[in-house]
């Protein structure tokens, strides 16, 4: 029996891939030793080690437990690698329509999380799967259980899918990269490069545009250094990059309680804290400002929540569509096209965008979206078509929208604790007057 023949048995049976121990046996380097403990509690397709290699538990025609050797296993290596490319077809999973190459990790997520929960309602996702993309798909297609059609995703199926994704947390110690040499070290000679650039910008750094320009050049050097680093590519987010910039490149702009102040520290934290009278107060004020924002300023988002709830609590969402003929014009880009799902746009008449694929067709186009701004629903109501198809049977849904606004404010104040990032953008005159 070959490795891939064994893997196919596990994928098609599905039962064994819901077992955490199976991943440890297959994706870590096993210690080859005589293991007889399986006889006390045999589990179909579980891995068993012997001195001469790996075996798996199977059942013969008479119903007896037997061991089958995996012939092409190479000692001192994992049996499988999540990044390994293999060829699959519909005999592996019903959602695979054509023969194609896929990574073992992608195959497992489809077989463990998507197919058991959603069946064939969702085609095989043959790409790096991000939870945000899965959530977007679910949100765009989920319907109440009593309203769902044959191709719709029910609430029960959505919950099952999400619960299955939480299983992957069990594998974090096996597959997550905690650190790499590059992730915890600065680029070579970065201190000399920074000092050279600081001399180039001497006398100009009180201009925030020049300070951002300096930071951008340093970040570009760091990005090149980390280009092939797995930790940087898989784990680093905006918060991580801001912290890394302060640690290794340049501390940069600091915050304090004086509006409009332009303070910055040039040395990075890895150079040691500068205790000079000019810079040490800047560190302290930066810490105090972040702590104050996280601890005290968040009360402003709570206050905003109460104001919004009081002002909107008299509004309800009507199940009867209004007769408006006017919408709000919006330019659709790659960053916002998913917000079109379950909204109505003007295309001759009002057209409902039901899927993410339909929404994608409007990227780089300006569309007129049905909006509550022009809703003609009578009294203190807005119709669900001007809101979103998601609110068809949610008369009190406006309070949820109000809460989401205050939630944005909450995140804003919480994130100030982790530092800020300054960027430069071009402002065109027509943007200011149109």
Q: What is the pLDDT of residues 55-98, one digit of tens each?
A: 999 999 888 999 999 999 999 999 999 999 999 999 999 999 99
Q: Is residue 15 situated within a structural domain?
A: yes
- 38: helix, coil or strand? helix
Please check whether residue 420 is in contact with residue 255, taking contact to mean a CB–CB distance below 8 angstroms: yes
Q: Is residue 309 situated within a structural domain?
A: no
Check pLDDT > 90 for residue 400.
no
Q: Are residues 169 and 28 in the same domain?
A: yes
Q: Are residues 232 and 281 in the same domain?
A: yes
Mean pLDDT for 209-228 is 91
Please check whether residue 338 is in contact with residue 377, taking contact to mean a CB–CB distance below 8 angstroms: no
Mean pLDDT for 190-204 is 91
Check pLDDT > 80 for residue 42.
yes
pLDDT band, residue 192 (cuts 50/70/90): very high
Q: Are residues 226 and 110 in the same domain?
A: no
Q: Are residues 163 and 269 in the same domain?
A: no
Q: Are residues 199 and 164 in the same domain?
A: no
Burial class for 63, CB neighbours closer than 10 Å (0-12, 13-18, 19+): exposed
Q: Is residue 342 situated within a structural domain?
A: yes
Mean pLDDT of the chain, nearest integer = 87
Candidates 356, 335, 359, 333; CA nearest to 345 is 359
Task: Give Cβ neighbours of residue 168 (< 8 Å, ≥ 6 apart).
Answer: 109, 113
d(CA 56, CA 115): 25
d(CA 57, CA 2): 14
Residue 17's pLDDT is what?
94
Q: Is residue 405 situated within a structural domain?
A: no
Q: Is residue 35 situated within a structural domain?
A: yes
Q: How far is CA 186 from the centre of its chain?
A: 26
Lowest-confidence range among 61-70, 233-242, 348-357? 233-242
Tell me the chain's radius of gyration from C-alpha atoms.
28
Q: Could you give the number of structural domains in the chain?
A: 3
Q: Are residues 158 and 33 in the same domain?
A: yes
d(CA 129, CA 165): 11
| Domain end marker among 115, 138, 173 | 173
> What domain range is 240 assigned to?
190-289
Q: Are residues 367 and 237 in the same domain?
A: no
Task: Give Cβ neighbours of residue 68 (< 8 Å, ≥ 6 apart).
Answer: 1, 55, 56, 58
Structure confidence by residue, pLDDT tens digits, 116-168:
999 999 999 998 888 888 888 888 788 887 777 888 889 999 999 999 999 99
d(CA 285, CA 231): 32
Alpha helices, H only, 121-260: 131-141, 155-166, 172-175, 190-200, 208-225, 230-234, 238-244
Write down how long the chain is.
Answer: 434
């Amino acid at each position: 029996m070959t490795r891939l023949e064994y893997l196919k048995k596990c994928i098609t049976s599905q039962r064994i891939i819901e077992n955490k121990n199976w991943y440890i046996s297959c994706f870590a380097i096993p210690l080859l030793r005589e293991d007889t403990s399986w006889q006390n509690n045999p589990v179909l397709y579980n891995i068993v080690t012997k001195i001469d290699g790996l075996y798996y538990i199977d059942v013969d025609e008479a119903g007896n437990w037997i061991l089958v050797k995996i012939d092409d296993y190479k000692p001192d290596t994992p049996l499988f690698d999540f990044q390994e490319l293999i060829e699959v077809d519909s005999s592996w999973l019903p959602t695979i329509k054509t023969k194609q190459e896929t990574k073992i990790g992608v195959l497992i997520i489809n077989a463990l999380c998507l197919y058991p929960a959603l069946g064939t309602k969702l085609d095989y996702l043959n790409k790096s799967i991000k939870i945000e993309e899965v959530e977007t798909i679910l949100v765009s297609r989920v319907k109440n259980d009593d309203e769902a059609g044959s191709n719709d995703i029910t609430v029960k199926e959505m919950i099952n899918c999400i619960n299955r994704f939480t299983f992957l947390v069990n594998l974090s110690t096996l597959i997550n990269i905690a650190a790499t040499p590059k992730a915890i070290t600065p680029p070579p000679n970065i201190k000399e490069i920074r000092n050279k650039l600081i001399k180039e910008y001497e006398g100009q750094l009180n201009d925030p545009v020049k300070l951002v320009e300096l930071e951008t050049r340093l970040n570009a050097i760091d990005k090149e250094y980390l280009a092939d680093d797995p930790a940087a590519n898989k784990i680093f987010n905006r918060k991580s990059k801001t912290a890394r910039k302060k640690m290794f490149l340049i501390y940069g702009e600091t915050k304090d309680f004086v509006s409009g102040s332009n303070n910055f520290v040039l040395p990075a934290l890895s150079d040691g804290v500068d205790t000079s009278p000019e810079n040490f107060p800047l560190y302290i004020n930066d810490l105090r400002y972040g702590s104050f924002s996280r601890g005290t300023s968040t009360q402003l988002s709570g206050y905003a929540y109460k104001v919004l709830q009081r002002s909107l609590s008299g509004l309800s969402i009507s199940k009867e569509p209004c007769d408006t003929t006017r919408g709000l014009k919006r330019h659709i880009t790659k960053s916002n096209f998913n917000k079109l799902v379950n909204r109505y746009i003007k295309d001759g008449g009002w057209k409902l965008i039901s899927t993410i694929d339909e929404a994608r067709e409007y990227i780089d186009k300006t569309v007129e979206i049905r909006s509550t701004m022009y809703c003609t629903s009578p009294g203190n109501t807005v119709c669900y078509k001007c809101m979103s198809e998601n609110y068809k049977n949610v008369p009190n849904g406006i309070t949820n929208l109000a809460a989401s606004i205050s939630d944005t404010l909450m995140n804003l104040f919480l994130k100030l604790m982790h530092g800020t990032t300054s960027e430069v953008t071009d402002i065109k005159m027509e943007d200011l007057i149109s």
